[in-house]
Structure 1
Amino acid sequence: MPANDTADPRDRPGIDTSKPHPARMYDWYMGGKDNYPIDEEMGRQLIALEPRLPVMARVNRAFMHRATRWLANQGIRQFLDIGTGIPTEPNLHQVAQAIAPDSRIVYCDNDPIVLAHAEALLRSAPEGVTAYVQADVRDPDTIVRQAGEILDLDRPVALSLVALLHFIPDGDGAYELVERLMSELPSGSFLMVSHASADFTPDTAGQAGDIYRARGVALALRSREQVTRFFDGLELADPGVVVVPQWRPGLGEPVPGQDDGPIPGYAAVARKP
């Protein structure tokens, strides 16, 4: 873990500045400073196509807050958050531990900048635990092994894959990865997902895909039916697979601008029977 809070996280070794990274672009959309010119450059290209991208980032974050709050109120006390991203308060552990201070959270990401912020991620409530795993979702065995050192995998766990799976194409085994991760979790565990889609703006989505590919970043914008497939064998919580702002909006605060047009993505939470 980093020992020097004054060091600029962008100076960490191992950070690839030759191409944009989704976590750093998300940080830029959210108004953060832990990104590079190449991330901003691509972000501006995409905003030229879809000016509401910063709103979409905030809507997605708000879903994570609502879903975490709902899961904590269902009695879930363990969370595995893959694709954590650069910390933005309140983060998942803060939301969960505000309801249940004894909650245990393991964060996981593959971006060294997120590793540089791990100390902030680890500021747990005294009654609970937070930890960080540096790994890629494409390496589920490493994630499960290291997360199992903190989480009791014989007790229910909420697996959070928020704004992640649309960066995992079918060729990389997206569905198999989710199935593999959920197979390690016991009955009563949950899967929470948000996922971008081309259902609402197919022309714009196609152009966005071209921009991502030109920068060496995969983008798999799935339909509602394809997103629903991630929940095969699980019991969807009401209201099912819906556009992101429609998932239990009463559990959070509205995001300014979210009603100015369709948010091109879906969200859902489901229980493992």
Structure 2
Amino acid sequence: MSDDHSMPVGIDTTVPHPARVYDYVLGGKNNYAVDRDYADMLVAQAPDYPPLARANRLFLSRTVEFMAQAGIRQFIDLGTGIPTSPNVHEIAREIHPGAKVVYVDNDPIVSVHNDALLATDDRVVSIRADLRDSESILADPELNKLIDFDEPVGVLFVAVLQFFPGPEVPARIVSLFRERMAPGSHIAISQPSAEGDPEAVARARAAMAGGPLTIDMRLHDEILPFFDGFDLVEPGLVDVTKWRPRMDAPFTRMLVLGGVGRKSA
């Protein structure tokens, strides 16, 4: 685990942070005592959290591979979180060795780790930005130097839209990227669902209430409109463990829903 007495400049280790909590749950080392304590409390109330986090990460891997097989050679990963191998560029380059990736996150600790990881790779950049200001992200010189919006691009909204309450902000964010994307582009969206076991969902909501992981756990029909303007790829918007699985997943009382859309025009 990280040494709380030698944190990078600008990192607040007195408050748990979603990216570091997620890192800890996935078995990473880029977290602090406050994150571990908070994660342990969450897991005590919502024991499905670790397997759901792993299932979501595997969904990311499968969707990037799917997009790369469909010919996508450039990706934008929004709300990327602390780097966890295999990263998007590693997965994509198994199919296209020259694949380009832009990682976007608003967390300074993510920037620290990504900058170190990507220092020698000119086909991958990391941008520190807030997804609520997507206009600035889309206008960023580093992004536009790497990404050619006249060609198909894969845009990843994996486990990020739940941090924006209500439908308006996430729908607006997705639409801004959709307007820039060429035909043949793809998006992937995943987020925790409110359609799991009611008792488990209620316990998770109670555990997160007022904390840094407070999220909008949406119903299937509340997530589906985020795909407006895209053709849903089979099997549609489903439990992420059921999206083109390669192995059986453990049973969980809660769900993460995910899907991939293709822009046809």
TM-score (norm 1): 0.88
Question: Structure 1 residues 87-96 or 32-41, which shifts more?
Answer: 32-41
Within-5 A mapping of 1:65-214: 65-122=61-118, 129-146=123-140, 147-170=143-166, 173-214=169-210
| Shift in alpha-carbon separation, 1:85–1:76, aligned structure 2, 3 A | same
Contact 2:76–2:101 (CA under 8 A) maintained in structure 1 = yes
RMSD: 2.3
Identity %: 37
1: distance between equivalents of 2:21 and 2:228?
A: 31
| Match of residue 267, structure 1, among 252, 258, 263 | 258
> CA-to-partner distance for each residue in 1:193-236, whole Å, 9 max, x for gaps?
11101211333323323333322543100011111111012100
Paired residue type of 1:168: F
In structure 1, the residue matched to 2:12 is: 16
Q: Secondary structure at the match of 2:207?
A: helix
Q: Report the CA distance between 1:103 and its aligned residue.
A: 0.8
Do residues 50 (structure 1) and 46 (structure 2) align? yes
Q: Which runs of 5+ in 1 are unaligned?
A: 1-6
2: distance between equivalents of 1:123 and 1:88?
A: 16
In structure 1, the residue matched to 2:58 is: 62
2: distance between equivalents of 1:240 and 1:151?
A: 27
Q: Secondary structure at the match of 1:14?
A: coil
In structure 2, the residue matched to 1:3 is: none
Aligned residues: 261
Q: Report the CA distance between 1:170 and its aligned residue.
A: 1.6
Q: Report the CA distance between 1:175 and its aligned residue.
A: 1.2
Q: Report the CA distance between 1:142 and its aligned residue.
A: 1.7
> CA-to-partner distance for each residue in 1:131-158, whole Å, 9 max, x for gaps?
1110111110121112222101111111
Contact 1:234–1:271 (CA under 8 A) maintained in structure 2 = yes
> CA-to-partner distance for each residue in 1:29-77, whole Å, 9 max, x for gaps?
0111211222212211211122232111111111111111110000001
Contact 1:82–1:109 (CA under 8 A) maintained in structure 2 = yes
| Match of residue 246, structure 1, among 217, 242, 245 | 242
Paired residue type of 2:256: G
| Shift in alpha-carbon separation, 1:263–1:112, aligned structure 2, 3 A | same
Q: Report the CA distance between 1:186 and its aligned residue.
A: 1.7
Q: Secondary structure at the match of 1:131?
A: strand
